[in-house]
Amino acid sequence: MAVADEDSLGQRLKAWPDRTKDFLEEVRGEMKKVNYPGRKEVQATTTVVIITVFVFAAFFEVVDKVIEFGLSHLLKLVR
C-alpha cells in the first residue's frame, strides 16, 4: 500500500510542470475573452453606486429615528 502511494505522489510530482503549463495556457486563453468596460460605463456605474449608497443611508437614518422615537415613548410608558 505504501508503494502505491509513493508512485502516485511521484507521478503527480513529475506531472506538475506540465499541469502548471496547461493551467497557465488556459488562464491566458480565458483572459483574452475578458471584456473590460470603457471609461463611460465605469463612470456611469460608479455614479449609480454612489447615489444608491446615499439613498440607503437616508432610508436607514429615517428607520433608525422612527425606531428610536417608538422605543423612547414605549420606555416612558413603562416607567
- Cα atoms in the Cβ-side hemisphere of radius 13 Å centred on 52: 6
pLDDT at 24 over 80: yes
Same domain, 29 and 57: no
Distance CA 31, CA 16 (A): 22
pLDDT at 62 over 70: yes
Question: How many structural domains is the chain composed of?
Answer: 2
Rounded to two decimals, what is the model's pTM? 0.59
1-15: average pLDDT: 71
Same domain, 52 and 76: yes
Same domain, 43 and 6: no
pLDDT at 10 over 80: yes
Identify which has the larger pLDDT, 79 or 45. 45
Same domain, 54 and 72: yes
Q: How confident is the model at residue 69 (pLDDT cuts 50, 70, 90)?
A: very high
Give the Å distances, CA to CA, from 6 to 15, 16, 18, 74, 78.
14, 15, 19, 72, 74
Same domain, 26 and 56: no
Same domain, 44 and 74: yes
Same domain, 70 and 42: yes
- Domain extent at residue 26: 1-34
pLDDT at 61 over 90: yes
Amino acid at 43: Q
